[in-house]
Every structure is written in structure tokens, then in C-alpha cells.
Structure 1
């Protein structure tokens, strides 16, 4: 009996001790040495996922019902976590937000319902319930009973103006925007039916996918366009091979005046409140991964940080800002409308397509780097995505430590979570671009290739809560480090820059050897080596932006730059002897 009592007592003590350890861990103060550890414990991905589920229900265009509901959902969750509206904020409030409202210069648009079928047949080629991307953005409604008209297949759209399409439906395998004027405005067609899914969507596998399409908003002709899936396109072409075909198209949309909403949430810094890091997540687009996931991850990042601050577990020296709005437009306005504020935006990061279940979508998580020489000379391990890239010049390069700093932070998270992290050279197309145009260091977090990109199969089942968590943890670990960066941080990053620079130069040396063996010019190889040398020498110098004045750091920077210059010179000499 005594032994049993003793065992029970020891068990209770053990449980209480474990609980106390767990509680201590849960309320541990965040500092640079444990950011990753605590964030991995407390960033669950629950709010990110649930927000994604809410937002992805809607086909979101700036100003429409789904966009606005998403904005107000974010505002609701911010208030729950302690953010107060700027207009009601008191002097000492750290957590504030505002909803910026501006009248739209053009009407907004909303899809309601649609169907397409071959006249006289019961089965539908397409229905909005299962293909919600079938209506081209900016389409107007047909009469309630729809429009029935003959289909004219235009194989070569260059000949469109020679074909009589008046009163008919034009069918072409091209983006509808390209033929709208000739077919509708000039030709008098009643509507467009088009197909042009790119190969990376694997249309012959994903036969029901429709990548959303846009036509001009024309308030005079008030016409419409319907995008086809591969399956519907093949079925229509099969019918056309038998002879004349008529289609019945029913389109129901809303076009109305509205306003543009943008949320700006600030977590005010204690020491340098004017200096800030900005995360931007765009709300518009019809998908789950694109970009309900960005909205969700940013929201959980903001609310978790608010919890840490309210519990006195975290203090940020610099201000952390979150933007939710219209892609590129909201970020560009934030950067351009206040030149004084813009000077103190030290870093900008775009959260776009950040929650993918890559087993289903394909591709990997990517950090799209700031413009560096790999955007000009893409070789070795570097490669562009199927998104593609425009030609760039050395004058467009943006030397900065942010690339390698973020890569290192995310690779560390990848190692912890067994999560694949890759990079791609700069390509553009998201909210990092306005930052870069404002000379603000910025990168894009995203996924590609995605076989459901911009299609109506980009739904919640393609989202991974684990990925949402990994992106959120990696983002906050990096953000907290930068927000509280000092001379020690700058020295650490400078060392990382040195390691990255020397590794890159060695890699480029090997690539140059390969290029020379294939007959490429030595002049070009020297130019590439020198470009990387210049990029990293200038990147090293940028670490000074984390300290106010440091003679010691300047000396360390000079040493790093000397090593980079010496290595580059040796490589050029070695290549010249080949």
C-alpha cells in the first residue's frame, strides 16, 4: 500500500513538473536565439488555413462582394487579436490598422452563373457550378434565356477581319482579349468562346481546368466571353467536324460602381518606429493558393505577433507592417504616395501562392530573388520558371544582402520541417515589383510550376496547412531578426554574404569553364564574373543599414570586399589562361 501511494505521488509530481516545463516553454520570451524554436511551436497554421478557406470561396475582383468580404474578414480577425483602428487609437497603442477606401475609376465585376451547351442537346459543355472560371472577366450578362447562335471556328485569327461573324459566336484557340475588338466591336459577333490553356497546366490530364481569362470592359457593346476547358474544347471541335453547330450560352454577371479597399496594419517599433519591414498579400484573383493563402499566412503572422507583444514576450525595434489589397496597385500606392515614409521602408516581401500541397500542384516553394546576375546569365543550378522572364540589363541589378539572408533562413526551416526550398532568378509579376521600383529591397515568396495555376481547380484541396505554417515560420523568423537587427546581426549577415559570394564565384568559374569549352567568348565570362563580384561587393556594404554608425563594421565590410575582389581576380586570371 505504501509503495502504491509513493508511486502515485511520484507520478503526480512528474505530471505537474512536465506541465510547468510546457507552460514555461509556452511563455518563453522571444529573442534572436530562439525565434525559430518558439515560432515552430506556436505558429499552427490554423488561422492561415481557415482564412484561406473563407477567402477562396469567392471570385475576387477589387471592389466586388468577395473581395470586400475578405478585407472585412481580415479586419475582424485583427481586432480580435488586439489591433485597434487608427482613428480610435491612443498615443501608446502599438497595434493599429486602417482600411483605406477609394472610389474605383471603373466598375467592378462579379460572376454569378453561366452555362454553355450545344443547341438541341441536354448535356452541358460547361456549367458555372463546376467551372467557375468559364466566364471571362468583364463579361456582361446575356438575356435570361441566353443567346443561341451559330459557331464560327476561326483557325487563323489573322484572317478574322475577312470572315463574316456578325450575329455569330466566334470560337478561337487564343486569348479572348486579343480578338475582342475585331470579333465583337468591329465584326459584330455576339460573343466569344476561346481556349488557350498553356502546356504547364497539363490540360490533357486536367481536362476540366479553365484558366481565367479577361476581355475589355466595354459598356457600349456589353458582350461576353466564355473560356473552355480542354474537355469542352475537344467536344466542340468534334461536333464542328460534323457540320454546322449552334451554341446556347447563358451568362449572368454583375457590373457595378464600387470602391477599392486596402488594409494597412502596423505593429509599431519601439526604437526606430519610422523604419519598417512590409509584407504584402494581394486579395484579388479567384483561387485558393492564388492568393487566399497569402492573405491567410499574413493574417496569422500579424495576430501571432500581436499575441507575443500583448504577453510581453516580444518587442520589435522597427515597425512591422502588413498590406492586404489589390495586387501591385495597393503596394505601389503605399510606396509612392508618401515619399517620406517610403525612404524608411527597409525591406518588402510579397506573399503570393504560399500554401501549396506540392504533391498535388507540382513544383516547389520558391524565393524569387532580387535582380542579380542570374536574371541575365541563367545557368548551372539557376533556372527560370515556366512563368518566364524579360531580358534584363546590369543597370537593373539590385545588390543587397536580403537574397542570401532569406535563403539561409528558409533553408534552415526546410531542414527542420523536411520541406523543400528553392530559388529562381527575378521574373516579376507580383507585389515585390513596386518595392523594387522604389529602390526598396524586396523578394517574392511563391510556388511554381503549379498545374492548377489560375484555374478553377485551384481549390482548398490543393492547399497544405503544413506549407502555410512553414512559410509563416520562415517569414516571421526572418522578419523578427531584421526588425531587431543591430551590429551583431549585421556582422552575422556579412559573414553569410562572404560565404555565399565565394561559393557563387566558384560555381560561376566552373560554369565559365564549361562555356569556354563550348566556344563561348572569354570576354563574356569575364563580364559575368565581374558582375557577380560587383553584386556581392555592394551587397556587403548594404549591411550598414542595420546600424547607425559603426567603424568596426565598416572595417569588417572592407575585409569581406577584399576577399571577394581577390577571389574574382584569381578566377579571371585562371580563365584567361585556358
Structure 2
């Protein structure tokens, strides 16, 4: 058995042999100018505009959000590409593509229990109650008996024809089980996950969707915890009839994506892309991403125009349909794809964490913590699929961004954490195309995807912190030179040594608890390999890679030495 004293001595020895603190912020000029001028005001105002709409690609709220972005970009000095001159550094375009299916938007809805005065739900207070792709009921609504299906396996035993089916499952699952094919009039469901704290947030409804089906003109209602309990109590007393009136719109439309470029002076074909998806009905998710990207673009334009900032490489902002627009941007132009050096997703970036309970997170590129999740590395309640060594993406972006955000955290007394790769947002298309990419977000959020994700859950101070750190990081990368690369090597080396020390402690604990030595050596060696390759990746910041050769080599030797030392300690 290893004693805590032995663990402490080993860690102390290793720590004394290396630097244990990250190098100080080496871009003080960026920090000062951005921190003093990034207020969060425009981000917050834009969030307030966007969050008033239930947004899905092609509908009124989505398109109005795009046009609001365009309006502000023009004010900031961006010129439509169609009218731009070669000397214009600030340009934008709106890409338009016809939708294969009609877009959708909710208008109104009410659900009442027969002979009861107060509605079970109404759209004015629960705007997520109508499942996406639901059709309208007849103009005067429908009145029908409710059938509660406790176990979907017994669905075939019920006569649901002309009735409303109620189940504690997703509406899509009910449809897959044939409830509409059996003649059900409509669906009422409840399935809020535990992390939403439904017994506390009793009126929350997490938005749901059903497959588009013009033939059946199906509809579904999602219930809050409060409404679910009330309906079940009534059903326990006998037969229940529900009155349901739903008004929605389907209409032909087009998909809009807006792209803004701030052209680099030296290497315009190399770029960093910030993406923010417009669809989804919430404030934090993702009106905050939309607003933050807009203030970041506007402030950068101001700094460029007043000659306080010059970018060597191009800074791009993209607003559109989550994953769809980003994937198209990455894949539809192979030449442009080769120029993308980094992709960063802005998703749920403005939370008032005292209310939501969420923490600001940098979701890292795939590293060994997504295989061996332990110690300070923990998945969120959103969850992640376990990766393999073949999925690893060693790169300097992870630890560089962490260092910059931690510096902002110290300046502003703001909490910054990380989580292993989980996927599910605009960083995925970049990574799938071997482009370094991370996600900026918050989780766990007790109002995630619910109709209680409103403006009162947004904090201007968070928008300021995320925007400030994001721009400092972006400017540093876009103007990266030999000096920058060498500083980032120092950051990576410090991070690697701290990581290996942390993994030593975790491996010693694991061995005490019965893990094999071989299993722990595999973890240490995986981290060693990741860190060494991340150091090597810094060479992509400059064209004359020979200037970094010695720094990279010496740093790798020090990391390898510590790793070998740890392996020997574990073996002995």
C-alpha cells in the first residue's frame, strides 16, 4: 500500500524539478485594450433581441436574428462582399439556400382539463409546450379522452383510436412505437431529466420535437412537472378529457447563414473561425453565443479602424444553423477548409451561474481524459462517449486557451473549468475535418433547453469575461510569430508537467484500489504521447520551423524525463 506521505514526497520531488506555475500573460497589450473596451453591452442587448423568438432555421425569429446581426455589422463598418473593394478589410455575406421542407414556428396553444377553470398549460407562460413540427389542431380545438400508458410495451393492449395518449417518455419514442398509426389523436408527454431539478423548477418544459409528417398532421404537447402531476392526480380519480388547441405555422423558406471576415494583412488565407448557432428557443442557448460573437466582431472592427490593432491572419465569425452551417463552411470549399487553423464554438456563454448552477467550461479537444476520466477531469451531465487512442487530437490549442481563460479568471475573480470532449455543438465539424477546435459553454444548467431559459438567467459580466478572454486568445493566435510560439511551448510544458504529476497521484490511488500496474502505465504513456505531440504542433505557427526546433526538442526532453521518472516510481 502507498502511503499519502510517499505520494506527497514523489509529487514534491517532481514539482521541484520543473516550473509549477504557468508563464505570465505575454500579450499585455491585447489584455489591456480588450479588457477596457469589451463591456458586454452589445452582447447583452443582442441576446435580449434574439431570445424573444422561438428560433428554428428559416422561421421568422431565426431570420430576424440574422438581419439584426447584419444591421449591427454594417454599423461597425462591415461591407457586403458584393459591394466590397479589394482594400476593404471588413466584409460580410448572407448565404441563402432553399429549405427542402417547410420551416415551422409556434403561434399559440392551450391545454385544459374538462370542467376545470385554470388551464393545464398555456403558450403564454410555457412556450416549449408545443413539440417542434407539430401541426395545428382544428381551429376550435379538440376534446378527447386521455389514455395513460405507463409501459410502452403494453401500448398494443389499449384502444387509442381518437384519443390522446399520455406517457412519461419522449414524443418521438411514442411515435416510433406506433401510437399515431394506431389512430391516436395526439400525444401528451413528460420526460424532463433529473439535472433540470423538475421538482424545484416545476413549471419548466424542456423543448421536444416530433418527425415532420404532413400526411398524419400529428401534434404533441410536452408537460411541465407541475402539469404532469396535476394530470396524473386527475387520472387517478377516473376518466379525464382534455381540450387541446394548438396553432402553428408551416411555410416555405430558406436557410440563412451570415459570415463576417476581418481580413488578415500578412496571411489572409489563414483564419480562426468563431461559430454561434442561431436556432433553439433559449436565451443562454444560444442567444448569448449570437450576441457575444457580434460584440467580438464589432469591437475588433473598431480596433482595426482606429489602427489600435492589426491582424496578420483572418478572423471569421459565422452565425447559422447548429452543426449544419459549420459543417458546410468546413466541407463545401476544400481550398478554404485548408486555410482554417482553428474553430471555436460559442454556445451557452453568458450564464448567471448563481441562478443556473452551471460553470463556465472549455470543452477540450479529444485528449486522454476522454478515455480515462478521473481526478479533476469529469464529464458533465450532458455526458460523453468514451473515446479511444485513435480519436486523440494532440494540439497546443487546449492548454493555450486554458491559460488565457485562467488569466482572465484571476483578473476578474471568475471561475473557469474544463471538461473532457463530449461533442454536440459547432466544434464537431471542425474536429471531424482535423481542424483544432474547442467549445466554450456552461453546464450543468438547471434551465437547459427549457422555457425558463430566459434573459434573467444571463449575466453581462459573464459575457464580458468570455468575450475578453476569447478575443485576447484570438488576437494572440492570429498574430502568432516565433516569440508567441516559444511562449506557448512554455505554457504547454508547464501544463504537461502538472498533468503528469496529477496522473501520478491518480495512478497511485488506482493501484491502491486494485488497478494493475500495466493499466496505469498505459495512461501515463498516453498522456506523455499527447503532451509531446502537442509541443510538436506549435511548429505550425511559423513558416520557418527551424527557429523552434531547439525549443521543441528541449521541452520534449524535459517532459520525457519527468514521464520516465513517474513510470519508474510506479514500477517501484
TM-score (norm 1): 0.94
Give the C-alpha shift of residue 88 in structure 1: 0.3
Separation in 2, partners of 1:395, 1:476: 32
Separation in 2, partners of 1:551, 1:283: 43
Residue 308 of structure 1 is matched in structure 2 by 303
Match of 2:186 among 145, 168, 191: 191
Residue 163 of structure 1 is matched in structure 2 by 158
Instruction: Name the stretch that deviates more: 305-314 or 268-277.
Output: 305-314
Residue 450 of structure 2 is matched in structure 1 by 455
Residue 74 of structure 1 is matched in structure 2 by 69
Match of 2:488 among 469, 480, 493: 493
Unaligned runs of 5+ in 2: 1-25
Separation in 1, partners of 2:56, 2:70: 18
CA contact (8 A) 1:115 1:127 kept: yes
Give the C-alpha shift of residue 181 in structure 1: 3.8
Task: Say whether residues 1:335 and 2:330 are aligned partners.
Answer: yes
CA contact (8 A) 1:183 1:189 kept: no
Separation in 2, partners of 1:424, 1:243: 48
SS of aligned partner of 2:199: coil
Match of 1:517 among 512, 528, 535: 512
Aligned CA RMSD, in angstroms, stands at 0.9
Residue 321 of structure 2 is matched in structure 1 by 326
Match of 1:177 among 154, 172, 180: 172
Alignment of 1:559-570 (within 5 A): 559-570=554-565
CA contact (8 A) 2:351 2:358 kept: no
Residue 381 of structure 1 is matched in structure 2 by 376
CA contact (8 A) 1:497 1:536 kept: yes
Give the C-alpha shift of residue 567 in structure 1: 1.4
Separation in 2, partners of 1:105, 1:522: 56
Alignment: residue pair count: 547
Match of 1:214 among 209, 217, 231: 209
CA contact (8 A) 2:284 2:349 kept: yes
CA contact (8 A) 1:184 1:190 kept: no
Residue 242 of structure 2 is matched in structure 1 by 247
Alignment of 1:7-18 (within 5 A): none
Residue 466 of structure 1 is matched in structure 2 by 461
Deviations 1:156-202 (A, max 9, x none): 01221332111110000001111114344321101000000001000
Give the C-alpha shift of residue 145 in structure 1: 1.1
Residue 527 of structure 1 is matched in structure 2 by 522
Separation in 2, partners of 1:162, 1:345: 56
SS of aligned partner of 2:202: coil
CA contact (8 A) 1:290 1:454 kept: yes
Give the C-alpha shift of residue 293 in structure 1: 0.1
Separation in 2, partners of 1:183, 1:123: 32
Residue 199 of structure 2 is matched in structure 1 by 204
Deviations 1:214-261 (A, max 9, x none): 011001000100000000000000000000100001100001111000
SS of aligned partner of 1:196: coil
| Structure 1 ranges of 4+ moved more than 4 A | none
SS of aligned partner of 1:440: coil
Q: Which has the higher contact order (CA 8 A, sep 6+)?
A: 2
CA contact (8 A) 1:184 1:223 kept: no
CA contact (8 A) 2:482 2:547 kept: no
TM-score (norm 2): 0.95
Residue 9 of structure 1 is matched in structure 2 by none
SS of aligned partner of 2:213: coil
Match of 2:121 among 120, 126, 129: 126
Residue 478 of structure 1 is matched in structure 2 by 473
Separation in 2, partners of 1:136, 1:288: 18
Instruction: Name the stretch that deviates more: 546-555 or 402-411.
Output: 546-555
CA contact (8 A) 2:180 2:186 kept: no
Alignment of 1:259-274 (within 5 A): 259-274=254-269
SS of aligned partner of 2:28: coil
CA contact (8 A) 2:147 2:166 kept: yes
